């Protein structure tokens, strides 16, 4: 995904300082690190890891014959139920 972002004021100053002082090599690297931190803070990374683990388990069950292939809606319903548990 490509996104163009323009910053000004203190946000731009902070971003420039992070690069100029050597904490990050590029502004892109600093932004990426910040987004990952937000993902941690709001538990999005945990949710994504959980979703991936669940998808792998479903894949394993399908390959072993424990579960048959269903429709996309059925799969989404299974994932929703699992998330609630």
pLDDT tens-digit profile of 45-84?
998 998 888 889 888 988 898 888 778 888 788 778 877 7
Cβ-contact 19, 26 below 8 angstroms: yes
Cα–chain-centroid distance for residue 75? 20
Note the pLDDT tens digit of each residue in 18-29.
999 999 999 999
Cα–chain-centroid distance for residue 48? 6
Locate 35 and state its tokens: 């987004």
Cβ-contact 19, 30 below 8 angstroms: yes
């Amino acid at each position: 995904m490509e996104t163009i972002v323009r910053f000004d004021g203190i946000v731009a100053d902070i971003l420039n300082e992070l690069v100029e002082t050597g904490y990050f090599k590029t502004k892109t690297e600093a932004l990426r690190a910040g987004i990952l931190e937000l993902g941690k803070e709001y538990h999005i990374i945990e949710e994504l890891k959980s979703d991936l683990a669940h998808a792998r388990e479903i894949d394993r069950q399908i390959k072993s014959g424990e579960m048959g292939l269903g429709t996309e809606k059925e799969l989404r319903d299974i994932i929703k139920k699992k998330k609630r548990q």
